[in-house]
Amino acid sequence: MAVHFHEEDLPAGVLTGTGAIAVDTETMGLITARDRLCVVQLSDGSGDEHLVRFAPGSSYDAPNLKAVLGDPARQKIYHFARFDLAAIQHYLGVMAGPVFCTKIASKLTRTYTDRHGLKNLVEELLGESISKQQQSSDWGGPVLSEAQRDYAASDVRYLHRLRDELTVRLEREGRMHLAQACFTFLPTRALLDIAGWAENDIFSHM
């Protein structure tokens, strides 16, 4: 297992297989248009993680990364896909689907709890422990610490295994069709967020 760090793009030939890709992002904050994309993390489930960092003022011209993210034949696994899809679309110009979102899958299956964070899922479903200490750190600085790199890598390290476990539960509870409908809608939800409807429920009567 290794964490590979790259500046501005993936090297040619990296993550060019056909299997699902786990994806996460680190930004300067939670408002997509204001808070720039700093890091994209990826894993193909083989044990290595790849971090791509973007500097202030980046052109986000990352053809190798965009090719992986934009491949319509490869499933992308996220935890809270809505945010990551919007950040990737806004800064890289790619809608990185098709989608499996472990947070949505958790909410559809783990109805006995309101704890649907990645840390909670990893602990309960996989019996592992991850630290969220670096979650609110400065991702735009000139140097990413080893702690930041380890944290960023851990956000994609477990997503393949979580997807597999949550798929079993979705099928067991007869909710796979509901999950898939939500996953299919997520790119549109991300576009609505970018367009200004982040805080408005357009399906509400109000």
Rounded distance between C-alpha atoms, residue 138 and residue 38, angstroms:
10
Q: Is residue 78 part of a domain?
A: yes
pLDDT for res 200: 86
For residue 74, give the amino acid letter: R
Segment 74-120, tens digit of pLDDT = 999 999 999 999 999 999 999 999 999 999 999 999 999 999 999 99
pLDDT for res 134: 62
For residue 6, give the amino acid letter: H
Length of the chain: 206
- Tell me what the mean pLDDT of segment 112-140 comes to: 89
pLDDT for res 205: 86
Q: What is the mean pLDDT of the chain?
A: 95
* Measured CA angle at 167 (ends 200, 129), to 5 deg: 85
pLDDT exceeds 80 at position 131: no
Name the helix (H) or strand (E) containing 39: strand 37-43
Q: Is residue 10 part of a domain?
A: yes
Q: Is residue 76 part of a domain?
A: yes
Neighbouring residues of 91: CB distance < 8 A, sequence distance ≥ 6: 36, 37, 54, 60
pLDDT for res 133: 66
Number of domains in the chain: 1
Handedness of CA 137, 142, 148, 152 (dihedral sign): positive
Q: Is residue 96 part of a domain?
A: yes
pLDDT exceeds 90 at position 137: no
pLDDT for res 36: 97
Rounded distance between C-alpha atoms, residue 2 and residue 197, angstroms:
39
Cross-strand pairs, 21: 76
Which residue range(s) make up the domain with 110?
3-197
pLDDT exceeds 80 at position 135: no
The phi and psi torsions of 12 (rounded to 5 degrees) equal -60, 140
- Tell me what the mean pLDDT of segment 46-66 comes to: 97
pLDDT for res 23: 98
Q: Is residue 58 part of a domain?
A: yes
**CATH number of the domain that 34 lies in?**
3.30.420.10
Q: Is residue 203 part of a domain?
A: no
pLDDT for res 1: 78
Q: Is residue 180 part of a domain?
A: yes
For residue 3, give both structure tokens. Answer: 């964490």
Segment 12-22, tens digit of pLDDT = 999 998 999 99
Q: Is residue 51 part of a domain?
A: yes
